[in-house]
Structures are given as C-alpha cells and as structure tokens.
C-alpha cells in the first residue's frame, strides 16, 4: 500500500485523484481550504482518507501540516502538487495576478521543496507529481500570469529532476500537462476543444504516475499541440489573439 498526499483535493482533478487512487488501495492524504468538502470526501472514501484543511499560501503553517499528515499516514511515497488557480487577466489587475503567482508558483515551489527534502532525508526515493498544463508551452494575452505560472512549474520540475539525477537518488519527478478537462474551474470557459471528462483524464494521469513517467500529456493528443507550440516562431504567437 502506498501513501499519497494531494493538494487542492476538494474539487475537480484533485478530488477525482483521491477517489480513484483510494479505489486502487492507496492511502490518500487530502489537503484543501474547504473543510466541508474535505469531510465529504473523507466520508465517501473511508479509512483510507486522511484530511487536513490548509491554504497552501500560508507557508509557515503549510510545512507543519505536510509533516503532520505524513506522520499520521505513516510515511509518504507520492506527493501530488495539484493546488492551482486560473484567472482571466485581460483586465490586468494585480490582485488576480498575485493570487495566481502565490498559488501556482510560490506555493508549488514550497511544496516541491518540502517533499523533495523529505524523500532525500527519509528514504532516498519517492515521487513528486506536479500539475502543469499544456499552457506551459504557450503564452496568452488573456491569461499571462496563468500561462507563465505553468511554464514555471514545468521548468522547476525539470530542474529538480536534474538535481535528483545528479545526487544519485531515486526521486521521480512527473510533470502532468493536461489540456482541457471538464471541471468546476472550466465549466464556464468558451471555445474549448478536445475536452476530456475528469474521470477519463484522471485515469490516464494515474497510469502515467504509476509508470513513473517524466511527462504525461492528458489526453495524449495534446502532445501534438505542444509540438506545434514549440515549432511556431515567436513573432507568429505575438500576432495571435488568445
């Protein structure tokens, strides 16, 4: 039986990961801001679920909560850093951009460091999963902070993968890059295509996690978009309106 901690576990991908992983026999430590939803998931999953309410941007509290949860579960094998926000930044408000950076960049980096240090100190092995996005390969005038934050997540994970290799430790870093997935966060978005259900998307994510892949595109066809994004010259992107 493996122990997994999931941040942002109260809805969408995080909640579905908790359900599907518990059905496979994993112990799941669930972190989120909404206590009522955490309690609902705990009731649904049962004894395999351990819950801790937390705002991941409260960094001093976050470290102690992670450690408490690891102790209660009896150890940690996989950390899934799923907490994230997305905001339409066309209005260019600092408040919304700051929240995106606080959650998607700073809180992610903090969780990554806590997990990596735990695996390094306790067992010289483990797996850290980051919820990036196909948006990490793009830049968008409508979501500048969001796309930049996802690019940070991917590059940060690449750096930690190189660090683990250099140190000779068996710590897997898995970068999950979803395209459009039907969740509460995306239900009002217009113009989405190749939209996957959260159930299907999560099932593919778990396959990638269990295979210890470095990169997982969800669904697989989004790898084509990533290839196109890397091939198109910057001056072309600068003329697009999206």
Distances (CA, A) of 204 to 115, 148, 159, 165, 196: 23, 25, 25, 26, 11
CA 195, distance to chain mean position in Å, is 18
* pLDDT at position 194 over 80: no
List, as one string, the DSSP characters of 203-234. Answer: HHHHHHHHTT-SEEEESTTHHHHHHHHHHS-H
- Token output for 169: 């430790």
Pick the CATH number of 3-239 from 3.60.20.10, 3.30.56.10, 1.10.460.10, 3.40.50.720: 3.40.50.720
pLDDT at 87: 62
Question: Which secondary structure element, helix H or strand E, spans residue 166, and what is its range?
Answer: helix 144-167
- Bridge partners of 176, per DSSP, are 131, 216
CA 146, distance to chain mean position in Å, is 13
pLDDT, tens digit, 9 for 90 and up, residues 63-87? 999 999 999 999 999 999 999 887 6
Which of 52-56, 211-215, 224-228 has the lowest average pLDDT? 224-228
pLDDT at 82: 96
Global pTM reads: 0.89
- Give the number of C-alpha atoms closer than 13 A to the C-alpha of residue 103, restricted to the C-beta side: 21
Q: Annotated catalytic sites, by residue? A: 146
CA 144, distance to chain mean position in Å, is 19
Tell me the domain boundaries of the chain.
3-239
């Amino acid at each position: 039986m493996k122990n997994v901690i999931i941040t942002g576990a109260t809805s969408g991908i995080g909640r579905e990961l908790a359900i599907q992983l518990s059905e496979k026999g994993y112990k799941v430590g669930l972190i989120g801001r909404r206590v009522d939803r955490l309690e609902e998931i705990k009731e649904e999953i049962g004894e395999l679920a351990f819950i801790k309410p937390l705002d991941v941007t409260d960094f001093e509290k976050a470290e102690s909560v992670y450690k408490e949860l690891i102790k209660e579960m009896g150890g940690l094998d996989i950390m899934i850093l799923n907490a994230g926000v997305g905001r339409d930044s066309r209005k260019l408000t600092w408040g919304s951009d700051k929240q995106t950076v606080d959650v998607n960049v700073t809180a992610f980096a903090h969780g990554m460091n806590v997990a990596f240090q735990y695996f390094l100190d306790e067992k010289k092995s483990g797996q850290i999963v980051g919820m990036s996005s196909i948006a990490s390969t793009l830049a968008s005038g409508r979501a500048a902070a969001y796309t930049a934050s996802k690019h940070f997540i991917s590059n940060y994970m690449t750096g930690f993968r190189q660090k683990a290799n250099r140190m000779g430790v068996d710590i897997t870093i898995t970068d999950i890059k979803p395209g459009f997935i039907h969740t509460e966060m995306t239900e009002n978005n217009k113009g989405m295509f190749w939209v996957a259900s959260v159930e299907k998307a999560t099932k593919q994510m778990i396959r990638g996690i269990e295979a210890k892949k470095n990169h997982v595109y969800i669904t697989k066809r989004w790898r084509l978009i990533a290839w196109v994004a890397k091939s198109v010259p910057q001056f072309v992107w600068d003329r697009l309106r999206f």
